[in-house]
Amino acid sequence: MNVCRADLHVHTALSPCADAAMTPLVVVAWAVDEGLDMIAICDHNSAGNVAAAQRAAGDALCVLAGMEVTTAEEAHVVGLFPDAAAALAAAAEVAATLPPAGPDYAAHFGEQLLMDEDGREVGREGRALALASGFTVEEAVALVHRHGGLAVAAHVDRRGFGVVAQLGVFPHHAGFDAVEVSPHAAPGSDAWATAAAYGLPVLRGS
């Protein structure tokens, strides 16, 4: 049986929660050192560093195009897209619902660094990626599907930013393709069993 080791929820320095040292180049090097075959770059409300990570990886690693949407309910929805162009198109729709990052934004939430494949800063995202978008959970799933992607309910076992924590119940009607649990939720754990009970494939994030 062929086994593919993957982490489908990876942030870069574009996400305000991430360290500035998490350049696409550094993230790719980490994944290769960890023996991963595939990662998905899923920055908050943006796909601006996906192409740089793909160029940095070359043939050493498969890098999928992703984005982690913060919905209007402050739940996280991961989108996994067929290519960087699709991810960027979806991200543009999300960005249109976000306010500008004001002068004190970085001090409160963190920097939002756009990088090239060599780890150099090429710009800063001007929208407030740390805030909730204008898309509801159901609308975020539809957005991902409209751009050819798969929608994953992120870290459903967490008290913060998971769809169950924010909505009170799992939204089966939304049309998710998979659910994700936190890294501590090993197969066989209560958290894994609860996630599996939703009847969808279960992923484990980093």
Instruction: Output DSSP code: residue 8.
Output: E
The pLDDT > 90 percentage for the chain reads 87
62: three-class secondary structure by DSSP: strand
Beta carbons within 8 Å of 122's beta carbon, 6+ residues apart: 114, 115, 116
Q: What is the mean pLDDT of residues 69-81?
A: 98
Token couple for 103: 């002068």
User: What would the pLDDT profile of 24-60 be if each residue is shown by its tens digit?
Assistant: 999 999 999 999 999 999 999 999 999 999 999 999 9
What mean pLDDT do residues 94-105 have? 97
Global confidence as pTM: 0.95
6-204: what CATH class?
alpha beta
Note the pLDDT of residue 139: 99
| The pLDDT value given to residue 185 | 82
Distance CA 177, CA 152 (A): 6
Q: Which of 128, 187, 182, 186 is nearest to 158 (CA)?
A: 182
Residue with tokens 């920097």: 111
- Which helix (H) or strand (E) covers residue 84, if one does? helix 84-95
- Domain residue ranges in the chain: 6-204
How is residue 201 written in tokens? Answer: 């494939």
Assess whether pLDDT exceeds 90 at residue 206.
no
Could you read off the pLDDT of 148-171 as tens digits, one per residue? 999 999 999 888 899 999 999 999
